[in-house]
Amino acid sequence: MRRTAPVESAPPRSRKRSDWGTIAQLLPYLWEYKWRVVFAIACLVLAKVANVGVPLLLKEIIDTLTPLLQSNALLAAASMPVALLVAYGALRLSTTLFTELRELLFARVTQNAVRSIAIQVFDYLHALSLRFHLNRQTGGVTRDIERGSRAISSLVSYTLYSILPTLIEIVLVVGYLFFNYDIWFSVITAVALSLYIFFTVKITEWRLHFRRTMNELDSKANVRSVDSLINYETVKYFGNEAFESQRYNKSMTAWQEAAIRSQKSLTLLNTGQSAIIALAVTLVLWRATAGVLDGSMTLGDLVLVNAFMIQLYIPLNFLGVIYREIKQSLADIERMFGLMDENLEVKDKPDAPDLKVNGGAIEFRNVGFAYDERRQVLKNLSFSVPAGHTVAVVGHSGAGKSTLSRLLYRFYEVGSGAILIDGQDIRDVAQISLRKNIGIVPQDTVLFNDSIAYNIAYGRPDASQDEIEAAAKAAHIHEFILSQPDGYQTQVGERGLKLSGGEKQRVAIARTILKNPAILIFDEATSALDSRSERAIQQELQALSRNRTTLIIAHRLSTVVHANQILVMGQGEILESGSHESLLDKNGEYARMWLIQQHSQPNASAHGNEMA
């Protein structure tokens, strides 16, 4: 039974994680430096103990001075509690020292986690099939990685530096109030804190969808801008600057409205929090004042309770913001982790061996394939390319020619049948070894925004400068490079747009020469060039393919007349096969295509001269 490739019209959305699930996935990265984590948390606890000790010492100082001041000013001056003052200053300093030490210890933990996860996601994206990358939007994906990486630092910062210290301090303060004062102090404090946290969590949960909407619209706006700038020339060709601005403005307007709704909900949250805090502080100070008046509490106790309230509620003022940011950070991290939930359509079998090339013979055996099950692209296709031979595949657009190279590179898995190289099913070998032995010169050569030397060396990154120049000479681009002011360090621009089509093709040939593969694919390698450039590059391609197994995918028949065998494809099937002369003698589809192209060339030339 024939199998077809799975339907995937759009990238699947990642599975929904709980917040705890996201944290659980993040923890192993943080725990890699377990001793740093342990020492950092110890410093955190010590900092909070010192912080709580400050009001206690302040109370002792006040209670020591109060009776002395009431009896004799001279005696008070002589009995200054120096030890308490020194201890007060030491505790203040200890709070800062332990806090800074905590941050110093944890810095490597956080940054290591950010780096490790970002690299893992980056590698995973490269492991996904071409199907995913044809559907993805680059601006949105890069924004997800950027936000997710930043969110890890934010999450650690908010939890370790804000939430956890505040919780420790709450436990210490409420415990002290419970054991040393009227129970109402601890009750008021505990109830107010519970109400504050409940209100904050509920309101923040309610308004989270505003933030999510803002992020989605922000990503869409970013995609719009990146897509427009990448296609700068197309925008200029059609004079659509205003149209692009309107599209971008529409996205930004939607983001603006979402941002305004988010701000309104934030106002409600802040107002409610302030009301709860104000009520709690008033009640606690009322109880403390009453205690001083009836003699059950001292002035030191009043100062202590007031200091405790200030220390507790100052960080709590930011709890709403912190909670929202933690939730947003978790959402951003989840979105980044979600990229690793994308289906790996093409993956190696466990312990897959490397491809062993002995000549590089290619065989397509009853191959069927479909990008979408509603339309079969290849239908039970069978042909072979003997080792060291050149086979060309020609046909009209949509015949399925370029799909052959994508399947041979294993960008997709075949739906049925098999592709073999020297008798080895390419699904049974490691992808990296497969692609190492195949070189391609594509129709649209896309270069990295770097130097010419870098782009040639991409064929073999460890190549020396002499090897790079030797490849450039073989591709007949060495002289052109030397004529540039910066030579091999000449920058090619975004996607190589500073170079002409012919120059880009020669760079592609040079890096393929440098790669030195056993198998070559020329996928419409000269179709975008003028006749003069095509003839020049065609000679270089023929020289490159000598003694190598070569598959040529072409539309122009004049570029394949030298092939050992020519396959004519139509509707995913092979209609004819043979040499150039034998196919002309058959007077079939190939002969008709040849006749049409031969007649169209003079007309095109005349038209070109007339336009000139």
On whether the CB atoms of residues 531 and 501 are closer than 8 A, the answer is: no
Q: How far apart are CA 214 and CA 244, in angstroms?
A: 21
pLDDT band at 528 (very low <50, low <70, confident <90, very high): low
pLDDT band at 366 (very low <50, low <70, confident <90, very high): very high
Considering the domain boundaries, does residue 318 fall inside one?
yes
Considering the domain boundaries, does residue 558 fall inside one?
no
Position 527 pLDDT exceeds 50: yes
Considering the domain boundaries, does residue 319 fall inside one?
yes
Of 178, 254, 245, nearest in space to 214 by CA: 254
pLDDT tens digits for range 200-209: 888 877 877 7
Considering the domain boundaries, does residue 361 fall inside one?
no
φ, ψ for residue 2, nearest 5 deg: -75, 130
Considering the domain boundaries, does residue 308 fall inside one?
yes
On whether the CB atoms of residues 477 and 413 are closer than 8 A, the answer is: no
Range of the domain at 239: 19-339
Which residues are within 8 A (CB) of 395 and not within 5 positions of it... i.e. 6 or more apart? 401, 555, 568, 569, 570, 575
Considering the domain boundaries, does residue 106 fall inside one?
yes
pLDDT tens digits for range 593-609: 888 888 765 444 433 33
Position 140 pLDDT exceeds 70: no
β-bridge partners, 567: 393, 577
Considering the domain boundaries, does residue 349 fall inside one?
no
Which residues are within 8 A (CB) of 202 and not within 5 positions of it... i.e. 6 or more apart? none
Q: How far apart are CA 68 and CA 71, in angstroms?
A: 5
Considering the domain boundaries, does residue 263 fall inside one?
yes
Task: Give the chain's domain count.
Answer: 1
> So what's the pLDDT on residue 9?
36
> So what's the pLDDT on residue 605?
40
Q: 281: domain CATH number?
A: 1.20.1560.10
Q: How far apart are CA 347 and CA 344, in angstroms?
A: 6
The pTM of the full predicted model, rounded to 2 decimals, is 0.62
Per DSSP, helices labelled H in 128-240 are: 130-135, 138-158, 164-180, 183-230, 232-237
